[in-house]
Amino acid sequence: MIRRSLLSAALVLTTLAGATGCGALQGDDPAASAAHQPSGSEASKHAEEALPYDVKPLLHPAKDYFGVAVDGAPTSMKPVERFAKTVGKKPNVVGSYSSWGDAFNTEGARNVFDYGGLPYVSWEPFKPGLEKIADGSQDAYIKKFAASVREVDVPVAISFGHEMNGQWYPWGTKKETPEAFVKAWRHIHDVFQDAGALNVIWVWSPNIINPVPAVKLKPYWPGDAYVDWVGIVGYWTLTGAKTFDTLYGPTRRQVREFTDKPFLITETSSEPGERRRADVRQLIGGVKADKDVIGFVWFNIRKRADWRIQSSPLALAEFRRLIADDDFGFEVPRS
């Protein structure tokens, strides 16, 4: 991790060029901006105080991320600690869900970071609709959310409107268009940039295309300047794909037609049954073998099915054996 003190001198250049993070800032005239910059030691001190956590070294990790979503976290980390004890390894991504209108969970983000992990937030726009988000009428809320993210000053991964290519969410294909999704995404991203919330990893997370093959992903793509990771939501079910490639391959190949951003499996689990042990082997083995995939987040919650790994002793034993590999897990650097 590059220390902030070493980066402070670069802040002025970053502000003028708009190159920090994954998108370009739309600022004032550079000459006018430069005229207002303090000089000498005052400029260095101001830059060091203003610079948020630098997420760039986290985008292409040397080891794979191992994440979990579990009830009660991250407001409390006890469920994560219990999960870590169950599987024999400490996760370094903790997933959670936030509805549009909710405040940013500052306490939860600090909890995850203090634990050595990356907070991952699925931001769900159940209301008021993508057009209203894009037209600026929601800016007061977005700015407040962004300010909280900036002030907490830890790395935060955010996925807005996950599974947008399905019809099961109000921001999906049944009610919204790809154009509206892209406009809303870009607008939110730009508001965050303007607020200085550059400590965000932006994760674009479609569902696997297997159940919705007619819906093309490219029209939903906000652009390389607006996204850091491509997330994939895909579960192992009793009647679904049986291999890593058949589950995730079709989606990945389509995505590779328009971007080379890293893949993170942002939500997955295996349906309880005879195949569960094999599913675990396919998932963890597939992530380890494929350097284009930088990790996965296990959905360890009972919801319509018992997705918790501890509900299947044989699958749990296989999970413990495979996740012990040194390729998985690392503490997110403090600065």
Give yes or no for a contact between 255 and 229, defined as CB atoms under 8 angstroms apart: no
Answer whether 98's CB lies under 8 Å from 105's CB.
yes
What is the reported pTM?
0.86
> Residue 242 carries which side chain, given as an amino acid letter?
K
Cβ within 8 Å of residue 281, ≥6 positions away: 318, 322
> From first to last of its 335 residues, what are the pLDDT tens digits of the chain?
333 333 333 333 333 333 334 533 333 333 333 334 444 444 444 444 568 999 999 999 999 999 999 999 999 999 999 999 999 999 999 999 999 999 999 999 999 999 999 999 999 999 999 999 999 999 999 999 999 999 999 999 999 999 999 999 999 999 999 999 999 999 999 999 999 999 999 999 999 999 999 999 999 999 999 999 999 999 999 999 999 999 999 999 999 999 999 999 999 999 999 999 999 999 999 999 999 999 999 999 999 999 999 999 999 999 999 999 999 999 999 87
* Positions of CATH 3.20.20.80 in the chain: 56-323
Calpha distance 153→48 (Å, rounded): 13
With DSSP H G I counted as helix, E B as strand and the rest as coil, what are the percentages for the chain, rounded to 5?
40, 15, 45
DSSP 210: T
Q: What DSSP letter does each residue of 141-196 carry, written as one string?
A: HHHHHHHHHHHH-S-EEEEESTTTTSSSSTTSTTT--HHHHHHHHHHHHHHHHHTT
Q: Select from 238, 226, 317 the least CA-distant residue to 272.
A: 238
Q: Which residues are catalytic?
A: 163, 267
- Provide the pLDDT for residue 72: 98
Dig out the tokens for 178 from the structure: 């790809």
The domain 56-323 having CATH identifier 3.40.50.10800: the answer here is no
User: Helix, strand, or coil here: 130?
Assistant: helix
Cα distances (Å, whole numbers) of residue 248 to 122, 190, 255, 277, 290 = 20, 30, 11, 18, 12
In this prediction, residue 51 carries a pLDDT of: 84
